């Protein structure tokens, strides 16, 4: 992540605009941390710049970066935001990793294929057959599928930013206009897609997570969701080199009430990924488990953003705030820290949702409304439960 360091940060009056970035307001942590968050706008996008004050050899030292909950793509926007911030505050930098050669490889315009989660939940057209790839990594298989199937729409889901940027660049270079990318956790993503909409879901060489099995992409919930999203005859294709993961996936698939499962060992695909090449050099076995969907599924409930229709003054929220965790069987909310913008507005940083895949967010209390920041929280199952806990806690 781009960051700068300085010893001479002094806040200036806001709002101020520099080089297209508007630094709107400053929120100061009131729970003991030496931290400020600067609410910043660039075009339509809003994000937070985080200023962390530390002591270094008895001297003041500030680490300044974009708060990772609100990070943006391409990286160049965050780099330019930090430059504008440094210019506004006349910072003398003691460190910067924003050298020209580290700038993003992709231009902002190319990022139109990186779609927001709201887009997938509410705007994705279902006029073409869908192929979905989970954790595409270097993207060789995804790009191959895109080229081989120009009449289909290919959705790639990945959480590793450098891989996302590389694949966006490749799509641009290869003039592929049938790819859409989601920077999101695949364990939640499938909930956003319509039932019976997808031809294939590829999960190639997922991280085996032998020591943290709860982080695995394949789980019973994932497989059930995959079967809902796939059209009858559609396929979930898992490819792995891990004997452990193979056995685990087999057991998970087996828990389905009805299934059609095909297993292949050391079967060649028309394209092989970097991982695959490495495992082949090591003469490891490679397993394919293909689960075919046999049933038509009912349509899923419409996914709406979670909103607050009532509000309370920020002063009241501040009094109620406590660093606590609320939980029920399958969802939780943890209020982490509190930041004050002025007497009537502030932010609460929290994590919420499912235990194994929490979402990290801010709640913005602003004059007469409460909203999630930086974007809406989608009404997927565990978030709905967590949202109710927040409403009960603040009586809103």
Interface with ligand SAM (CB under 6 A): 134-138, 157-160, 163, 185-187, 204-207, 217, 273-275
Main-chain dihedrals φ then ψ at residue 274, nearest 5 degrees: -60, -40
Say if CB 148 and CB 118 are below 8 A apart: no
Report the alpha-carbon distance of residue 148 to residue 146 in Å, rounded: 6
CB-CB neighbours of 394 under 10 Å: 19
Closer CB to ligand SAM, 138 or 366, in the complex: 138
Say if CB 351 and CB 358 are below 8 A apart: yes
* Paired tokens of 208: 């085996």
Give the shortest CB-34-to-ligand SAM separation in angstroms. Answer: 33
For residues 90-108, b (16+ Cβ closer than 10 Å) or e, as one string? ebeeeebebeeeeebebee
CB-CB neighbours of 109 under 10 Å: 8
Closer CB to ligand SAM, 21 or 136, in the complex: 136
Closer CB to ligand SAM, 223 or 338, in the complex: 223
Give the shortest CB-294-to-ligand SAM separation in angstroms. Answer: 26
Determine if the peptide bond prior to 327 is cis (ω within 30°).
no
Give the shortest CB-317-to-ligand SAM separation in angstroms. Answer: 32
Give the shortest CB-138-to-ligand SAM separation in angstroms. Answer: 6
Residue that has been written with the tokens 């020209």 in this structure: 100
Give the shortest CB-336-to-ligand SAM separation in angstroms. Answer: 22
Closer CB to ligand SAM, 238 or 317, in the complex: 238
Closer CB to ligand SAM, 160 or 301, in the complex: 160
Give the shortest CB-378-to-ligand SAM separation in angstroms. Answer: 16
Closer CB to ligand SAM, 95 or 355, in the complex: 355
Closer CB to ligand SAM, 204 or 349, in the complex: 204
CB-CB neighbours of 16 under 10 Å: 13
Say if CB 86 and CB 6 are below 8 A apart: yes
Say if CB 62 and CB 47 are below 8 A apart: no
Give the shortest CB-161-to-ligand SAM separation in angstroms. Answer: 9
Residue that has been written with the tokens 């307001």 in this structure: 25
Give the shortest CB-140-to-ligand SAM separation in angstroms. Answer: 7
Residues ≥6 apart with Cβ < 8 Å to 392 = none
CB-CB neighbours of 79 under 10 Å: 22
Closer CB to ligand SAM, 212 or 274, in the complex: 274
Determine which helix (DSSP H) or strand (DSSP E) holds 199, and give its type and residue range. Answer: strand 198-204
């Amino acid at each position: 992540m781009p960051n700068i360091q300085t010893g001479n940060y002094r806040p200036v009056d806001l709002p101020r605009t520099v080089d297209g970035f508007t630094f709107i307001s400053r929120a100061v942590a009131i729970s003991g941390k030496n931290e400020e968050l600067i609410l910043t706008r660039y075009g339509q996008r809003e994000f937070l710049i985080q200023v962390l004050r530390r002591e270094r050899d008895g001297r003041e030292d500030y680490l300044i970066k974009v708060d990772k909950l609100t990070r943006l793509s391409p990286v160049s926007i965050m780099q330019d935001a930090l430059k504008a911030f440094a210019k506004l505050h006349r910072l003398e930098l003691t460190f910067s990793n924003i050298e020209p050669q580290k700038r993003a490889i992709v231009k902002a315009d190319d990022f139109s294929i990186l779609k927001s989660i709201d887009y997938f939940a509410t705007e994705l057209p279902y006029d073409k057959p869908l192929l979905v790839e989970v954790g595409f990594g270097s993207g060789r298989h995804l790009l191959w599928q895109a080229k081989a199937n120009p009449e289909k729409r290919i959705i790639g889901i990945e959480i590793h930013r450098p891989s996302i940027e590389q694949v966006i660049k490749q799509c641009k270079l290869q003039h592929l206009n049938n790819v859409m990318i989601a920077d999101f956790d695949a364990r939640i993503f499938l909930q956003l897609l319509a039932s019976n909409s997808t031809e294939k879901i590829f999960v190639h060489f997922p991280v085996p997570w032998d020591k943290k099995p709860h982080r695995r992409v394949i789980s019973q919930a994932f497989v059930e969701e995959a079967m809902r999203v796939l059209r009858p005859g559609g396929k979930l294709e898992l490819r792995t080199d891990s004997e452990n993961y193979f056995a685990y996936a087999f057991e998970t698939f087996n828990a389905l009430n009805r299934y059609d499962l095909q297993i292949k060992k050391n079967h060649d695909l028309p394209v092989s990924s970097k991982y695959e090449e490495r495992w082949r050099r090591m003469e490891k076995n490679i397993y394919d488990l293909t689960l075919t969907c046999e049933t038509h599924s009912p349509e899923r409930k419409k996914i709406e953003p979670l909103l607050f229709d009532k509000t309370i003054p920020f002063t009241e929220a501040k009094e109620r705030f406590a660093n606590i965790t609320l939980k029920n069987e399958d969802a939780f909310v943890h209020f982490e820290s509190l930041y004050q913008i002025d007497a009537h507005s502030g932010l609460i940083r929290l994590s919420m949702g499912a235990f194994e895949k929490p979402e990290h967010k801010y709640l913005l209390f602003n004059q007469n409304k409460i909203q999630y920041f930086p974007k809406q929280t989608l009404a997927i199952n565990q978030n709905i439960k967590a949202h109710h806990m927040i409403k009960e806690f603040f009586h809103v």
